[in-house]
Amino acid sequence: MRSEFVSFRREYDIKRAMTQPRLAILGGIRTPFVKSGDAFKDVPAYDLARLAMREALDRTGVRPEQVDEVIFGNVAQPAEAANVARVSALLAGLPIRTPAVTVHRNCASGMESVTTAYDRLLAGHGKLMLAGGTENMSQIPLLYPQSFSEKLVALQRARKLGARLSALATFRPKDFSPRIGLILGLTDPICGLGMGQTAEVLAKKFKISRYEQDVFALKSHQKAVAARARLAEEIMPVITPRLAVTQDIGPRENQSLEALEKLKAVFDRKFGTVTPGNTCPVTDGAAALLVCLEQDVKSFDLPERPLGYLRAYAYAGCPPAQMGIGPVFATVKMLRRASVPMKEIDLFEINEAFACQVLSCLKLFGSANLRKEYGLDGEDLLSEIDPSRLNVNGGAIALGHPVGTSGARLILTLLKEMQRRGAVRGLATLCVGGGQGAALLLEAQ
Amino acid sequence: MAAAGAITVREETWDHRRIVRVIFDLPDKPVNVLTTETMRALGEVLGNLEQEPPSGLVLESAKPGVFIAGADIHEIEKIDAADAAATVAREGRDLLWKLHTIRCPTYAAIDGVALGGGLEAALFCDYRIVSDSPKTRVGLPEVTLGIIPGFGGTQTLPRLIGLQPALDLILTGRQIDGRRAEKLGLADRCVPHDTFQEEVEAFVMRHPKKAAWPRRSPPFFLIRELTCSMARSAVLKKTQGNYPAPLAAIAAVRRGLGRELSEGLRIETEIFSALPQTRECKNLIRTFFQMEKFKKYSIPRLEEMARARGKPAPARACAVIGAGTMGAGIAQHLSACGLGVRLKDIDVKFLQRGIGAAEKIVRGSLARKRIRREEARDILARILPTLDYGPLRSAELVIEAVLEDLPLKRKVFDDLERVTARGVVLATNTSSLPIGKIAEGRPAESQGRYIGLHFFNPVDKMPLVEIVVAPCTSDETLARALEFVKAIKKTPVVVKDRPGFLVNRVLMPYMNESAYLLSEGVRIDHIDRLALKFGMPMGPLHLLDVVGLDVGEKVSHVLHEAYGDRMAPCPLFERLRREGRLGQKNERGFYLYKGGKKQPDHALYDGLPAAPAIAGEDITDRLILTMVNEAARVLSEGVVDDAETVDVGMLLGTGFPPFRGGLLKYADDRGLQSCVDRLYAFSERHGARFAPCDDLVRLAKSGGRFHQETVR
Give chain B's mean pLDDT: 93
> Considering only CB atoms, which chain A residues are within 8 Å of B394?
57-58, 61-63
Residue type, B443: P
Q: Pick the closest to residue B518 from B586, B583, B607, B597 (CA basis).
A: B607
With CB atoms and an 8 Å threshold, state whether B384 touches A244: no
With CB atoms and an 8 Å threshold, state whether B355 touches A246: no
- DSSP, collapsed to helix, strand or coil, labels residue A284 as strand
> Considering only CB atoms, which chain A residues are within 8 Å of B393?
58-61, 303
With CB atoms and an 8 Å threshold, state whether B391 touches A244: no
pLDDT at B375 over 50: yes
> Considering only CB atoms, which chain A residues are within 8 Å of B381?
47, 50, 91
Q: Pick the closest to residue A17 from A306, A335, A292 (CA basis).
A: A335
Give kind and range of the element (H or E) at residue B545.
helix B540-547
Asked if B375 is an interface residue toward chain A (Cβ–Cβ < 8 A), one would say no
Asked if B359 is an interface residue toward chain A (Cβ–Cβ < 8 A), one would say yes
Measured CA to CA, the distance from residue A103 to residue A28 in angstroms comes to 18
Per-residue confidence band for B366, with pLDDT thresholds at 50, 70 and 90: very high
Q: What is the pLDDT of residue B551?
A: 86
List % helix, strand, coil for chain A (3-state, nearest 5).
45, 20, 35
> Considering only CB atoms, which chain A residues are within 8 Å of B378?
91
ω into residue B458 within 30 of 0, thus cis? yes
> Considering only CB atoms, which chain A residues are within 8 Å of B386?
236-237
Cβ within 8 Å of B, A 284-303: 303
Minimum mean pLDDT range among A397-406, B214-223, B512-521, B571-580: B214-223
With CB atoms and an 8 Å threshold, state whether A241 touches B394: no
Give kind and range of the element (H or E) at residue B561.
helix B549-563
Q: Which residue of A has its CA nearest to B375?
A: A91
Give the residue ranges of chain A where pLDDT is below 70: 1-18
Return phi, psi of residue B40, to 5°.
-65, -45
Cβ within 8 Å of B, A 54-113: 54-55, 57-63, 91, 93
Q: What is the pLDDT of residue B712?
A: 41
Overall size of chain A counted in residues: 445
With CB atoms and an 8 Å threshold, state whether B393 touches A59: yes
Residue type, B72: D
Asked if A173 is an interface residue toward chain B (Cβ–Cβ < 8 A), one would say no
DSSP conformational letter for B32: -
CB B99 within 8 A of CB B50: no
Q: Pick the closest to residue B539 from B664, B630, B623, B661 (CA basis).
A: B623
pLDDT at B1 over 70: no
Closest Cβ opposite residue A63 in set B355, B382, B394: B394
Q: Which residue of A has its CA nearest to B359?
A: A241
CB B20 within 8 A of CB B58: yes
Domains and CATH numbers, chain B: 7-277 (3.90.226.10), 312-496 (3.40.50.720), 503-701 (1.10.1040.50)
Residue type, A37: G
Return phi, psi of residue B104, to 5°.
-155, 155
Q: What number of H helices and E strands is found in chain B?
A: 30, 20
Q: What is the pLDDT of residue B682?
A: 96
Measured CA to CA, the distance from residue B493 to residue B508 in angstroms comes to 18
Q: What is the pLDDT of residue A13?
A: 53
Measured CA to CA, the distance from residue B649 to residue B470 in angstroms comes to 18
With CB atoms and an 8 Å threshold, state whether B385 touches A57: no
Measured CA to CA, the distance from residue B343 to residue B327 in angstroms comes to 8
- DSSP, collapsed to helix, strand or coil, labels residue B6 as coil
Q: What is the pLDDT of residue A356?
A: 96
Measured CA to CA, the distance from residue B494 to residue B467 in angstroms comes to 5
> Considering only CB atoms, which chain B residues are within 8 Å of A61?
393-394, 421
Measured CA to CA, the distance from residue B47 to residue B24 in angstroms comes to 17
Q: What is the pLDDT of residue A2?
A: 42
Q: How far is A48 from chain B (nearest CA, A)?
A: 11
Pairing of strands A23-30, B137-139: unpaired
Q: How would DSSP label each residue in B307-357? A: HHH-PPPPP-EEEEE--SHHHHHHHHHHHHTT-EEEEE-S-HHHHHHHHHH
List % helix, strand, coil for chain B (3-state, nearest 5).
55, 15, 30
> Considering only CB atoms, which chain A residues are within 8 Å of B379?
none
Closest Cβ opposite residue B393 in set A239, A241, A303: A303
Measured CA to CA, the distance from residue B105 to residue B125 in angstroms comes to 8
Q: How would DSSP label each residue in B124-158? A: HSSEEEEE--TT-EEE-GGGGGTS---SSHHHHHH
pLDDT at B342 over 60: yes
The residue extents of the domains of chain A are: 144-180
Catalytic positions of A, please? Answer: 107, 401, 431
CB B457 within 8 A of CB B585: no
Per-residue confidence band for B294, with pLDDT thresholds at 50, 70 and 90: very high
pLDDT (mean) for B328-356 = 96
Q: How far is B456 from chain A (nearest CA, A)?
A: 24
- DSSP, collapsed to helix, strand or coil, labels residue A361 as helix
Entry pTM: 0.90
Q: What is the pLDDT of residue B195?
A: 96
Q: Pick the closest to residue A24 from A334, A417, A335, A411 (CA basis).
A: A411
> Considering only CB atoms, which chain A residues are within 8 Å of B317?
58
CB B179 within 8 A of CB B240: no
Q: What is the pLDDT of residue B190?
A: 96
pLDDT (mean) for B166-191 = 95
Q: Pick the closest to residue A127 from A367, A380, A300 (CA basis).
A: A300
> Considering only CB atoms, which chain A residues are within 8 Å of B340?
54, 93
Pairing of strands B491-496, B591-594: unpaired
pLDDT at B711 over 70: no
Q: What is the pLDDT of residue A14?
A: 52
Q: Which residue of A has its CA nearest to B390?
A: A59
Q: Which residue of B has its CA nearest to A245?
A: B348
> Considering only CB atoms, which chain B residues are within 8 Å of A54?
340, 384, 391
Asked if B390 is an interface residue toward chain A (Cβ–Cβ < 8 A), one would say yes
Asked if B356 is an interface residue toward chain A (Cβ–Cβ < 8 A), one would say yes
Q: Pick the closest to residue B63 from B107, B7, B116, B119 (CA basis).
A: B7
Closest Cβ opposite residue B348 in set A47, A54, A246: A246
With CB atoms and an 8 Å threshold, state whether B387 touches A246: yes
Q: What is the pLDDT of residue B347?
A: 95
pLDDT at B610 over 80: yes
With CB atoms and an 8 Å threshold, state whether B348 touches A239: yes
pLDDT at B319 over 50: yes
How many percent of chain B have pLDDT more than 70? 99
Given the residues B120, B280, B466, B483, select the one marked as catalytic. Answer: B466
Q: pLDDT for B237-269, tens place per residue? A: 999 999 999 999 999 999 998 899 999 999 999
Please name every residue paired with B588 in a beta bridge, in sequence order, or none if there are none: B583, B592
Measured CA to CA, the distance from residue B165 to residue B175 in angstroms comes to 13
With CB atoms and an 8 Å threshold, state whether A58 touches B317: yes
pLDDT at B336 over 90: yes
CB A406 within 8 A of CB A426: no
Return phi, psi of residue A366, to 5°.
-95, -5
DSSP conformational letter for B571: T
Measured CA to CA, the distance from residue B692 to residue B697 in angstroms comes to 6
Return phi, psi of residue A378, to 5°.
175, 20
pLDDT (mean) for B668-688 = 95
The gap from C-alpha B226 to its chain's centroid, in whole angstroms, comes to 31
Task: Report CA-CA distances (Å) from B320 to A64, B25, B460, B477.
Answer: 20, 45, 15, 17
Overall size of chain B counted in residues: 712
Q: How far is B389 from chain A (nearest CA, A)?
A: 9
Q: How far is A104 from chain B (nearest CA, A)?
A: 26
Closest Cβ opposite residue B385 in set A47, A91, A239: A239
Q: Which residue of A has its CA nearest to B343?
A: A239
Chains A, B: CB contacts under 8 A, how many?
Answer: 56
DSSP conformational letter for B360: H
- DSSP, collapsed to helix, strand or coil, labels residue A309 as strand
Asked if B363 is an interface residue toward chain A (Cβ–Cβ < 8 A), one would say no
